[in-house]
Homo-oligomer: A and B are copies of this chain.
Amino acid sequence: MTSFEQYARTFDRYVAQIEYPAAPRALYDPIRYTMAYGGKRLRPLFVLGACGLWRDEVSRALPAAAAVEMFHNFTLIHDDIMDNAPTRRGRESVFRRWGVNAATLSGDSLMIHSWRELARTSPELLPAVVDYFNEAAVKVCEGQQLDMDFESRDRLTVAEHTAMIELKTASLFVGAVSMGAMAGGASDDDLRHLREFALPFGVAFQMQDDLLDSYGDERLGKTVGGDILEGKKTFLKMKALAVASPADRAELSLIHKDLRHTPGKMIARVLNIYDRYGVRAAVEEEIGRRFAAAAAALDALTGSVSSDRIEEFKTFALGQLGRAK
């Protein structure tokens, strides 16, 4: 069993023992529902993995790991309200099942419980851990706001879109490794290297997610083309808009509202445009560049970390981007 498989077991056991009050049920049932289907639990594994670069025993990082996962799940509950998203992880979204008010309030409550969990961190670590957590939390909200702002913007550059994803998605990875590194006892330099890993990793992770949505991955059982049908501004669409002809730009911007087309036709037409402009390869190249930057940051970790552990960390991160090392 690899260290990361062990972290996953340790984390699952830890999260399973977190209890939420029985009542009010309308508040806590949506939280239990959300936390029980945890998805990949990637962010907490980065907390534990970062701590594990320096320590064999990572239990001191468990509260921060749980807190970051709870915070992430809170953002999903509220984002689904704002995006009017009917499903999440293949099930009804919380707001669809319990209504907007219950989803708003249970999201609030899950956020509060994430801080409550974070506060279980040992007192000597707590001030720094709280600061990294709060920094990430502020940025995630700023990113979500920019995401909403950008939906109605006509002209948007790839750089602006990337900066939004850095806030909305990557900053929580940065927070995760920062908290883990603090718990592990990293030096300031090594902390910085891990943060320099997590920022490009987080952006590449979102790019990969965008690619999978349009080009599929049977392993995940994901609907292919969901982003296209929603007209979502993904890295693929941003890349295409940046280079396409005026006619193709117009089609990309409007096709998801064109009721003459079946969903299958809409997806096929958009993928045809992507193909003509080499969008998939361009995004894959961006992922490759970011992964190289992320890997280089890990290689810069100082002698206090064994190269075995760095390799294991890198293998885990690479795996998330669907790439073998």
Residues of A within 8 A of B (CB): 21, 23-24, 26-27, 78, 81-82, 100-102, 104-105, 107-109, 111-113, 115-116, 119, 123, 126-127, 130-131, 134, 137-138, 141-142, 144-146, 148-149
Q: How far is the CB of A234 from chain B (nearest CB, A)?
A: 20
Contact across chains for B138 and A119 when beta carbons are under 8 A apart:
no
Asked if A145 contacts B26 (CB within 8 A), the reply is yes
A21-B142, A27-B141 are contacts. A130–B115 as well, Cβ < 8 Å?
yes
Q: Which residue of B lies closest to A116 (CB)?
A: B134
Judged by DSSP, the binding face of A is helix
Cα distance, A278 to B102, chains bound together (Å): 36
Q: In the complex, how many angstroms separate the beta carbon of A47 from the nearest chain B beta carbon?
A: 18
CA A131 – CA B117 in complex, angstroms?
A: 10
Please give, as numbers and ranges, the residues of chain B lying within 8 Å of A108 by CB-CB distance. 78, 107-108, 111, 141
Name the one of B78, B112, B144 contacting A138, with C-beta atoms under 8 angstroms. B112
Supposing A108-B111, A127-B126 touch, asked if A134 and B148 sit within 8 A by C-beta, the answer is no
What chain B residues lie within 8 Å of A134 (beta carbons)?
112, 115-116, 119
Shortest distance between the CB of A256 and any CB in chain B (Å)? 20
Contact in complex: A27, B142 (CB < 8 Å): yes
